[in-house]
């Protein structure tokens, strides 16, 4: 049973409330809490100078600020604490605050707890954003009032009073957002699970357990959609509290969604052919199959077919940028893990010039070399991980007696210029770093924008 938002309004009024992190998702939250009568202090590692106008605006709204390197030292005496998703609940600061009686939560947890509309939650190691966008487009095209949020779109908690019972809400949920989630999500999709974010999670098991929270609290009416071809997600079937349904790109599943001989099927009915889908690649066929299952009760097959043939994909996800001198350039800045990069370069009909490297998430790069070598014509490496990636490729090149030239670059600009120098007519250049961006950029979007800008200036 969904909770009534009036309960939260009464609960938060006059409460001494801390919001940790003055980032994009928390600024609307801070203003909303002020509107609801909370007494808000905002915490951030940035200084007032770094926050600039944001700090001035917050102070005008009577928000207290705790800023700078030792910003968490004064996280004491609060009744309610909203934490950023990437902050661990088991950190000393939060353990102490909890012992002192604070209620610790996050923007996304409270949104799921009180959202009156039907929630479609999507998680997984790869394909989350595209699948979320497909589900959103399917529902919107069918005519529903549809909201999108979580890891993409806008933070939704501050809009909660505009969302009605008959509205549909599509959420992309990361392992960090799910780590402390304990409310039911009506329809849950787990696209796949492979090693990721092991710099933040204690181990692979903790990462898997975080993902499970997307369906752990479902009731018997909940729908859980799982990838049959991923051993970890397939093993979740027996843990479902409601209905579990499978999608597959490799076998016929009559009571699920599947791909067979060039066509996509939902419960045995043909939806569309592979060639009708605008966004290329088997991983996108899987994303569509998962999305079809999620909206099977709300969306007509004709609408599914229409969206498949018109949806151009999401920015920074194998996005075609432009052709220069017969060479095509693709921006897959979202490719922040080796499996994601393999999936991207596998889409193309010939080996590509791959630009990779970046921040080290402590993920092994052996799979990229061992499974991706035949899809790579040349490799251009940048960032903190460039030597680490070179080492695993050198080993595979030597073992298999391959001819894959490797070039080292200082930054993204040098990488693109090197790609332009070595590329020949009809070649394909792909930025799919297999790493996070934090050594050079604040996020993958900024990295993708830089790639786009440089390619467009060639």
User: Would 39 be classed as within a structural domain?
Assistant: yes
User: Would 33 be classed as within a structural domain?
Assistant: yes
284 and 144 fall within a common domain: yes
User: Would 94 be classed as within a structural domain?
Assistant: yes
Percent of the chain whose pLDDT exceeds 90: 84
131, 284 Cβ separation under 8 angstroms = no
How sure is the predictor about 455, in pLDDT bands with cuts at 50, 70 and 90? Answer: very high
Which among 272, 290, 310 is the end of a domain?
Answer: 310
441, 411 Cβ separation under 8 angstroms = no
pLDDT of residue 448: 96
Angstrom distance (rounded) from CA 221 to CA 249: 26
160, 94 Cβ separation under 8 angstroms = no
CATH of the domain at 74: 3.40.50.720
Which among 258, 292, 310 is the end of a domain?
Answer: 310
User: Would 110 be classed as within a structural domain?
Assistant: no
User: Would 239 be classed as within a structural domain?
Assistant: yes
User: Would 414 be classed as within a structural domain?
Assistant: yes
130 and 242 fall within a common domain: yes
- The average confidence (pLDDT) of the chain is 94
User: Is the confidence at residue 94, as pLDDT, over 80?
Assistant: yes
300 and 178 fall within a common domain: yes
215, 238 Cβ separation under 8 angstroms = no
Q: Name the pTM for this structure.
A: 0.76
293 and 347 fall within a common domain: no
- Report the pLDDT averaged over residues 183-189: 98
Angstrom distance (rounded) from CA 280 to CA 287: 11
176 and 90 fall within a common domain: no
pLDDT of residue 215: 98
pLDDT tens for 343-389 read 899 888 899 999 999 999 899 999 999 999 999 999 999 999 999 99
101 and 120 fall within a common domain: no
- The CA dihedral of 346, 348, 351, 353, to the nearest 10 degrees, is -100
pLDDT of residue 164: 97
Which among 54, 85, 105 is the end of a domain?
Answer: 105
How sure is the predictor about 199, in pLDDT bands with cuts at 50, 70 and 90? Answer: low
What is the phi/psi pair of residue 188, to 5°? -120, 135
Give bridge partners of residue 246 from the DSSP assignment. Answer: 226
Closest by alpha carbon to 232, among 324, 304, 156, 125? 125
User: Would 131 be classed as within a structural domain?
Assistant: yes
The total domain count for the chain is: 3
135 and 240 fall within a common domain: yes
Angstrom distance (rounded) from CA 90 to CA 97: 11
359 and 402 fall within a common domain: yes
CATH of the domain at 294: 3.40.1190.10
How sure is the predictor about 13, in pLDDT bands with cuts at 50, 70 and 90? Answer: very high
pLDDT of residue 209: 94
How sure is the predictor about 197, in pLDDT bands with cuts at 50, 70 and 90? Answer: low
Please compute Rg for the chain using Cα positions.
Answer: 23
First-residue to last-residue Cα distance in the chain: 56
pLDDT of residue 40: 98
- Report the pLDDT averaged over residues 252-262: 97
Q: Domain limits at 299?
A: 115-310
19 and 162 fall within a common domain: no
Residue 241: CA count within 13 A, CB half-sphere = 16
Strand ranges, E, within 292-400? 319-324, 327-331, 352-356, 376-381
- The larger pLDDT score, comparing residue 299 to residue 322, is at 299
282 and 133 fall within a common domain: yes
285 and 356 fall within a common domain: no
User: Would 372 be classed as within a structural domain?
Assistant: yes
264 and 390 fall within a common domain: no
Angstrom distance (rounded) from CA 142 to CA 136: 10
195, 363 Cβ separation under 8 angstroms = yes
CATH of the domain at 414: 3.90.190.20
pLDDT tens for 29-74 read 999 999 999 999 999 999 999 998 999 999 999 999 999 999 999 9
């Amino acid at each position: 049973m969904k909770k009534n938002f009036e309960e939260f309004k009464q609960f938060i009024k006059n409460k001494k409330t801390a919001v940790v992190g003055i980032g994009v998702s928390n600024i609307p939250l801070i203003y909303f809490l002020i509107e609801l009568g909370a007494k808000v202090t905002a915490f951030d590692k940035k200084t007032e100078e770094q926050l600039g106008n944001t700090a001035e605006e917050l102070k005008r709204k009577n928000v207290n600020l705790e800023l700078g390197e030792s910003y968490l030292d004064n996280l004491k005496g609060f009744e309610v604490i909203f934490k950023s998703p990437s902050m661990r609940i088991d950190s000393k600061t939060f353990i102490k605050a909890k012992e002192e009686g604070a209620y610790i939560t996050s923007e996304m947890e409270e949104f799921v707890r009180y959202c009156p509309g039907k929630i479609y939650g999507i998680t997984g190691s790869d394909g989350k954003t595209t699948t979320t966008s497909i589900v959103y487009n399917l529902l919107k095209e069918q005519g529903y009032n549809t909201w999108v949020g979580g890891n993409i779109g806008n933070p939704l908690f501050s809009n909660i009073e505009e969302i009605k019972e008959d509205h549909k809400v599509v959420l992309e949920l990361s392992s960090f957002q799910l780590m402390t989630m304990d409310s039911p999500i009506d329809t849950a999709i787990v696209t796949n699970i492979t090693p990721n974010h092991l710099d933040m999670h204690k181990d692979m098991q903790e990462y898997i357990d975080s993902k499970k929270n997307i369906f752990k609290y479902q009731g018997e009416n909940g729908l859980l959609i799982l990838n049959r071809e991923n051993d970890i997600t397939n093993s979740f079937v027996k843990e479902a509290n409601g209905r579990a349904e499978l999608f597959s790109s490799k076998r016929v599943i009559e009571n699920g969604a599947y791909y067979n001989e060039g066509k996509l099927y939902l419960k045995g009915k043909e939806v569309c052919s592979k060639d009708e889908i605008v966004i290329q690649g088997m991983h996108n066929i899987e994303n569509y199959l998962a999305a079809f299952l999620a909206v099977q009760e709300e969306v007509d097959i004709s609408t599914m077919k229409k969206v498949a043939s018109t949806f151009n994909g999401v920015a920074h996800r194998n996005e075609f940028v432009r052709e220069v001198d017969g060479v095509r350039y693709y921006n897959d800045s979202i490719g922040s893990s080796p499996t994601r990069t393999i999936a991207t370069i596998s889409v193309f009909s010939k080996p590509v010039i791959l630009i990779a490297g970046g921040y080290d998430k402590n993920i092994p790069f052996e799979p990229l070399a061992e499974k991706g070598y035949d899809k790579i014509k040349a490799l251009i490496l940048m960032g903190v991980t460039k030597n680490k990636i070179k080492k695993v490729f050198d080993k595979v090149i030597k073992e298999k007696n391959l001819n894959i030239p490797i070039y080292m670059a200082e930054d993204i600009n040098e990488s693109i210029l090197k790609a332009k120098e070595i590329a020949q007519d009809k070649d394909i250049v792909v930025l799919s770093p297999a790493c996070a961006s934090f050594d050079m950029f604040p996020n993958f979007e900024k990295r993708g924008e830089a790639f786009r800008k440089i390619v467009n200036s060639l």
